[in-house]
Amino acid sequence: MTTIILQGPNLNSDKANAIVQRTGGSLTKHTHHYKISRANNISAEQLAALRKIADFDINRLPKDFDPSQVKLLITDMDSTFISIECIDEIADFADLKPQVAAITESAMRGEIGFEASLSKRVALLTDLDTNALQKVYDERLTLNPGADLMLAALRDKGIKIALVSGGFTFFTNRLKERCQLDYTHANVLEEHNGKLTGKVVGNIVGGGAKEIFLRKICNELDIELNQAIAMGDGANDLMMMKSAGLSIAYHAKPTVQAQADITFNYCGLEGVLGMLDCE
């Protein structure tokens, strides 16, 4: 049996029926998505053709993915769980946002190494007042659409929630408390006398560290990697995404979308509910 999930704010019953006429199978309407069940597989080429004519997300669940066995969702923070790139917004208070944002974009596309790019960006913040971090959190940081629905559904199903970031603990710690997250991991910005030193404390949390964090949580929970969903938008998320049972590219860079099981380009974080077969 092949399962195809249709989601997005532009989706309606007419559009869903138009897709099922092309794919065959049975169509079921859920609160936040439509599900098509068909006996035969759908090829990557067929899926790509359907996506070209749709203004909503169309995804095929991997045959070996079992929603009922999911015990962990691990997600990137910047531009995935939240709507901003925190370091770019911090840099805005130093009048350096364009320079820092350009490096961030290049790193997320995988054009330059994440660890080197982060060191370069953090160095540009030397001597910036640390109160800029609180201003970013208070004035600019918002959860991406659908976050509350996703979190509620995960809690209802007893699925643990982890936030991992190449960003900073200043933000992940606050989000852990605010959103009642189970695990967080990020970089620590070094500061002295109320100013940033332009360095991070200890090893940088990059792609490899994210994947290690995923494995650490799975070991702690005594679950298999295939019982985890990993979601991200940048090249530094790919290692953990490839190790998880299901990978979701959230409004992601092309290189990430090309390697993910699932792509969200229209729906918000509530799209996760469709992957979990929620009503």
Q: Distance between CA 31 and CA 270 in Å, rounded? A: 11
Residue of 57, 64, 78, 129 marked catalytic: 78
Contact 52, 265 (CB under 8 A): no
| Distance between CA atoms of residues 251 and 209, nearest Å | 22
Give which of 52, 43, 24, 83 is closest to 269, Cα–Cα. 83
Where helices occur in the chain by DSSP H, the ranges are 13-23, 44-53, 86-92, 97-108, 114-123, 131-139, 147-156, 169-179, 207-221, 238-243, 254-257, 271-275
Q: Which of 64, 66, 76, 129 is catalytic?
A: 76
95 counts as catalytic: no
Distances (CA, A) of 87 to 68, 98, 171: 37, 11, 11
In the three-class reduction of DSSP (H, G, I as helix; E, B as strand; rest coil), residue 109 is classed as: coil
CA distances 247 to 92, 173, 243, Å, are: 32, 24, 8
Cβ burial of 258 (10 Å; 0-12, 13-18, 19+) is exposed
d(CA 97, CA 193): 24
78 is annotated as an active-site residue:
yes
Calculate the CA 32 to chain-centre distance. 19
Give the active site residues.
76, 78
